Amino acid sequence: MLLSLAIALNLGNVAPQSEIVVTFHPSKVMAKKFMIAEQTANVKDYKPTIPMDEGELTVDGKTYKLYMAPKWNYDVAKKRDWNAVIGENALGIFVDYDDDGDLSVSERWLPHTPIRFGSKMLKATSIANGEVKFVPVDGPAMGGVEGQAAPDFDWTDMDGKAHRLQDYRGKYLILDMFSITCVNCMEEWPHILEIQKKFGEDRLKVLLLSSDVTYASILKDVPQRNKDIAKSRGMPWPNVLVPGGWDELIPKFNAYGYGLYLIGPDGTVLMARDRAPRLEKILGGIK
């Protein structure tokens, strides 16, 4: 059995291309199978079905537990076919940010995209034989980094209304990156709506950003299903079908994996790629 290797790392003192190796070993943690399906009431019946390998990485004094499904990661990594089983299997590297042992979609990253550890970013350069090699990435040069200016955008929602970052100056803005394949995303909507009403709908706006163009080859009627999904669930927010899907969102926001972004009135990213509990905590500290 491979031993877990915890690496103490202060990225601020590491050369730009210093290589970090994390060794994974079999664990008892299981991940859910993220299925492409019209999300129904039996969602809570989905059972964790995928055995995960576990590793540890310490960044700036905080230790993160990392998990991945070795069968799919190792096989797919060899082919560099990262999208081979997205939506069918829990492909990717998971970071258990809240240390609860429950691996969610918002804690999943594809191996070829930079992974967030606090305000720092690492990118996997290879996955083989239970080891993942990472190199630091210059965070400020990337979009969607906490404490940095939010990347500009210019999108049109499914009702034909234009949305630009500058339109939300003076307001708090939640960008919710979701997909009709993402159960967790839509289960979180009522909580987000509750947060918005508590904080004030005039002060806090929400914009849904669908990545489903990426899945158009395997999902039917993507535009219509996206147009209907929020309304059918009683969500009042504008819904943007992002034209480039993940090909557009990944470089703009470093956003693979679903999650919430909170942008402040001055255009600064206050929260990146996280979930409703942290969103509520941040907004709860704002008068």
pLDDT digits (tens, 9 = 90+) for 214-234: 878 777 888 888 888 888 888
Spatial separation of the C-alpha atoms in residues 260 and 236, rounded to whole Å: 17
Q: Which of 186, 80, 56 is nearest to 134 (CA)?
A: 56
pLDDT in tens, 255-265: 656 889 999 99
Three-state SS at 140:
helix
**Residue located via tokens 């947060």:** 195
Tally of CB atoms within 10 A around 239: 20
Q: Which two tokens stand for residue 248?
A: 């557009």
Helix (H) or strand (E) holding 194: helix 189-199
d(CA 63, CA 8): 8
Assess whether pLDDT exceeds 50 at residue 284. yes
Predicted pLDDT of residue 111 = 63
The answer, yes or no, to whether residue 18 has pLDDT greater than 60, is: yes
Instruction: Output the pLDDT for position 217.
Output: 75
> 44 exposed, middle or buried (CB, 10 Å; 0-12, 13-18, 19+)?
exposed
Q: Where in the chain is the domain with CATH 3.40.30.10?
A: 142-284
Helix (H, G, I), strand (E, B) or coil at 200: coil
**Predicted local distance difference test score (pLDDT) of residue 60:** 85
pLDDT in tens, 232-257: 888 899 999 999 888 788 778 876 56
Dihedral, 217, 255, 190, 287 alpha carbons, nearest 10: -160
CATH class of residue range 142-284: alpha beta
* Confidence grade of residue 17 (pLDDT, cut at 50, 70, 90): low
Mean pLDDT of the 88-95 span: 62
Nearest to 182 by CA among 237, 230, 116: 230
